[in-house]
A and B are shown apart, each in its own frame.
Chain A
Amino acid sequence: MIAFAELLDRLTLTPGRLAKIALLKRFFASEADPDRGWALAALTGSLSFPTAKAGLIRALAEARTDAVLFRLSYDFVGDLAETVSLIWPAAEAAVPPSLTEIVTVLSSGRKTELPGRLAGWLDGSGPSVRYAILKLITGGLRAGASARLAKTALAEFAADLGQPGIAADDIEEVWHSLSPPYLPLFAWLEGLGEAPASGGAPVFRPPMLAQPLEEADFAALDPAAYAAEWKWDGIRVQLVRTASGSRVFSRGAEDISAAFPDLVDVLPAEAALDGELLVIRDGVVMPFAELQQRLNRKSPAAKMLRELPVGVLLYDILFDGAEDLRSLPFSERRVRLEAWVARHPAEKLRLSEIIPFGTMEELAALRAGARAAGIEGLMLKRKDSAYVPGRPKGLWWKWKRDPHTIDAVMMYAQRGHGKRSSYYSDYTFGLWREDGELVPVGKAYSGFTDAELLRLDRWVRAHTVRSYGPVREVERGVVLEIAFDAAQLSSRHKSGVALRFPRVARLRWDKPVAEADRLGTLMKLVGGGG
């Protein structure tokens, strides 16, 4: 467990991708089965323990520490596992458990045994190992290494052992047919076994992504070579059905079937389709805010399934039955997709329409005029492009609408979680109502540099009017220029309006707060989204 905890610490603090891969490789080479397999499962988010939750950890910590001091410490550190790992009273003669021992106990499901075992492990460990154990339990292990990076490291690990033919995408394509601690996978990578066969399981294929379109790229584009589609404002998904089952995957290879039971069986025939998941009510695509409520639920209740019905606008077809179509050009895949949909009509599946256009100017006008709530901009896809995993250059472009901006006043600041915990990095901002009252309209926590964050953090500490736990109410003294993609009516804010993806565009230290925008200015943008 010490090696795993050290790996986590190093991954968290090492900035370079290559250095991270080197650390992962060294770990896979030096640790034995099944510990390394369990570690891989933890790093890729493939472990979850139903019996062990944050509540248990909190209860254990509170039994050993003072409740007030625990709360204040948690407010400061901003992360439960780290707080407990640091505040846990040190024990003499520490002997930490192995990763396999931890996994065995946690997955045994013997609830009554767990608190005692966990306390024993924490007593036996230093802060770093404690942190790793607690992160395993809460499932919040963000190691600074994505699942994708782990697979890249596995491919390089295999190459170092004389198996250069295994690419990260090869591992990706068998991944969802494997389970921890991945003994056949490691055997394959080490040249001691055959490639694991997916065995007809519904597996994920790495998706093709688009590059953002910049002004500079504009002139070089030949409009005749491209097809245009709306860029829908939902989440990109892959729907897969094979003889042995159906799955819904996020674009990050995560199996999200449990969160979308209403989509799992939506494919009437075997295929792998690429599309955008959206809330669609009576045929109309709803704003992202509605989908957000579904995304917050790992297993939604029946009421939610009824009130927030989802569907998929289809972009592409990867497999028709068992036939791999990815090497075909986009235009041919589109014909196959249209034919497939005609053959297998389904209420929750619709084609994402192709938008006819002649010139780039025409397309720019379409983009500027798009008002529908669910549209984020345009996609341009080369008609001759094969379906290439990753973000290949020059094949697909995304062309987002320009954001709106408003000048708002900072009202409250809160310590961030994650990378910016213990800094005041989350800012609630407001606009002036006609009666002169400042009302909150949203919260932003990105868009500024680290240097600007330090200055804001210092400003917040020096200009606090009142504290409410981790939240500080501040003097009205800073104008934040906020960029956002859309404004929607909402009952969550006193102002009655909510913003889509608000972020700080600029700090307006120069601007007097009285000159910030009025709420009425924002209300004019509601609904249209554009």
Chain B
Amino acid sequence: MTHPSAWLAVRPEGLYCIPGDFFIDPLRPVGRAVITHAHSDHARAGHGAVLATAETIALMRTRMGAGLEGTQLQALAPGEDMRLNGANIKLVPAGHVLGSAQVVIEHEGARVVVSGDYKRAADPTCAPFEPVACDVFITEATFGLPVFTHPPAGQEAGKLLESLRMFPERAHLVGCYALGKTQRLIGVLRGLGYDAPIYLHGALIPVCDTYERLGVRLGALLPATGAAPAEMAGRIVLAPPSALADRWSRRLPDPLTALASGWMRVRQRAKARGVELPLVISDHADWPELLRTFDDVGAPEIWVTHGEEQALIHAATQRGLTGRALRLIGYGEAAEEEAA
């Protein structure tokens, strides 16, 4: 076999497959891109040919507006093999958000899995992560420290419902990222039997509509803008994290601020954000899930794209694996921090 380090390169645009002549989640506009999922730091505008799952393409269009998501769009169904120039590729569910996929690349007898962002915990709004045996596993390390163990999402959502019972006069304003976190939180709440209408900040509505169109049922949703303030007392109001401390939230009745993010595990993070009710809900793998995934895919080599790579590589080395930091600058910033 030809070792993948000979045919997968880190270029200024991002991770590049030489025989396939394509970039994966490039950070700058390129001629041919394979996109793992529709979050803004992975799916950027202005590429030429774009290959992704049908859901990711739909979500990219919702986020960017038609025409910016790429000039030639090609949907590839999960599990289907495809030849792209000199490489074979396949998309496999990553469990991160709707449409998210790992990119499996085979070339001259070697198999690399570029996992994108992923999680192993259950999510009612997307297909679960499927481990694929490989020679090199390329992983994120957003929560690559042993202090990060995400509790079950149902337990965290339960805290929100308990708080609603304790403070029925307060609007419960929950910060959650527009794509993925919002729909998962709604799905988990519905799973717990909460069937009251959930109010949405305007920025969350288009993505929820797209999820519904793609067959994910979210129950009764109402726009928060235009709703009478008194109507939202004792209700759940979802908004992007950036809107929590915004003037937008001032019209809510005595809002109790919550934030759904894996970072809420660290209380000083919650404190710095002025969050009264931290909800540790993340769409990224926590530390035990990262390590379990290494075992499941059996790759002797782990490459880390972004996040807390130092600790994760150390842990990989202790398991007898070879670890390598790719230091792809540009992921996990701004928007993604909120999505985590």
Contacts and interface: CB of A to CB of B under 8 A. Distances in A.
Given A73-B145, A462-B333, A78 B310 contact: no
Contacts of B277: 13
B315 interface: yes
A9 B145 CA distance: 22
A458 B147 contact: no
B296 interface: no
Contact of A421 (B245, B268, B310): B268
B267 interface: yes
A12 B271 contact: yes
Chain A contact-residue range equals 20 to 34
Chain B contact-residue range equals 20 to 34
Interface in A216-257: none
A77 interface: yes
Interface string B300-340: 00000000101100110010000000000100011000000
B268 A458 contact: no
A399 to B, nearest CB: 33
A462 B329 CA distance: 7
A69 B318 CA distance: 11
A14 B275 CA distance: 8
A350 interface: no
A291 to B, nearest CB: 30
Interface stretch (A79-87, A319-327, A372-380): A79-87
A463 to B, nearest CB: 10
A405 B67 CA distance: 50
B311 A13 contact: no
Contacts of A72: 145, 308, 310-311, 314
A434 B282 CA distance: 51
B195 interface: no
Contacts of A90: 149
B266 interface: yes
Nearest to A421: B268
B220 to A, nearest CB: 30
Contacts of B315: 66, 69
A69 B314 CA distance: 8
Interface string A89-130: 010000000000000000000000000000000000000000
Interface in B244-285: 245, 265-272, 274-278
Given A69-B315, A76-B145, A82-B267, A423 B275 contact: no
B259 to A, nearest CB: 11
B146 interface: yes
A73 B245 CA distance: 29
Interface string A40-83: 00000000000000000000000001101100110011110011
A423 B272 contact: yes
A218 B311 CA distance: 58
Contact of A13 (B267, B310, B334): B267
Contact of B334 (A15, A77, A131, A458): A458
Contacts of B149: 86, 90
A73 B274 contact: no
Given A69-B311, A72-B145, A12 B334 contact: no
A148 interface: no
Contacts of A422: 266, 268-269
Contacts of A12: 267, 271
Interface of A is mostly: helix
A77 B267 CA distance: 9
A418 interface: yes
A491 to B, nearest CB: 33
Contact of B266 (A15, A421, A458): A421
Contacts of B308: 72, 76
B268 A73 contact: no
B271 to A, nearest CB: 6
A77 B274 CA distance: 17
Interface string A449-477: 01000000010011000000000000000
Contacts of B148: 86
B120 to A, nearest CB: 17
Contacts of B276: 13-15
Interface in A178-215: none
B288 to A, nearest CB: 10
A470 to B, nearest CB: 12
A68 B329 CA distance: 24
Contacts of A82: 266-268
A72 B310 CA distance: 8
Interface in A265-302: none
A135 to B, nearest CB: 11
B265 to A, nearest CB: 7
A131 B268 CA distance: 13
A450 B269 CA distance: 12
A418 B314 CA distance: 27
Contacts of A69: 145-146, 311, 314-315
A419 B270 CA distance: 9
A15 B274 contact: yes
Contacts of A76: 145, 147, 266, 308
Contact of A418 (B265, B268, B310, B311): B268
A420 interface: yes
Contact of B311 (A68, A131, A450, A458): A68
A219 B148 CA distance: 57
Contacts of A66: 146, 314-315, 318
A322 B46 CA distance: 82
Interface string A416-442: 001111110000000000000000000
Contact of B271 (A65, A419, A461, A462): A419
Nearest to A453: B272
Determine which residue in B149, B267, B333 has the highest number of CB atoms from chain A within 10 A of its CB, and name it: B267
Contacts of A423: 272
Interface string B197-235: 000000000000000000000000000000000000000
B268 A419 contact: yes
Contacts of B275: 13
Nearest to A423: B272
A14 B269 CA distance: 14
A450 B274 CA distance: 10
A9 B146 contact: no
B274 A458 contact: no
Contacts of B334: 458
Nearest to A16: B276
Given A73-B147, A418-B268, A422-B269, 16 more contacts: A12-B271, A13-B267, A13-B271, A69-B146, A72-B310, A72-B314, A76-B145, A77-B268, A86-B148, A86-B149, A87-B146, A420-B268, A422-B268, A423-B272, A450-B272, A462-B329
24 contacts: A13-B270, A13-B276, A65-B146, A69-B146, A72-B314, A73-B145, A76-B147, A77-B266, A77-B268, A79-B268, A82-B267, A86-B147, A86-B265, A86-B266, A87-B146, A419-B272, A421-B266, A421-B268, A422-B266, A422-B269, A458-B333, A458-B334, A461-B333, A462-B333
Closest 3 CB pairs of A and B: A86-B147, A421-B268, A72-B311
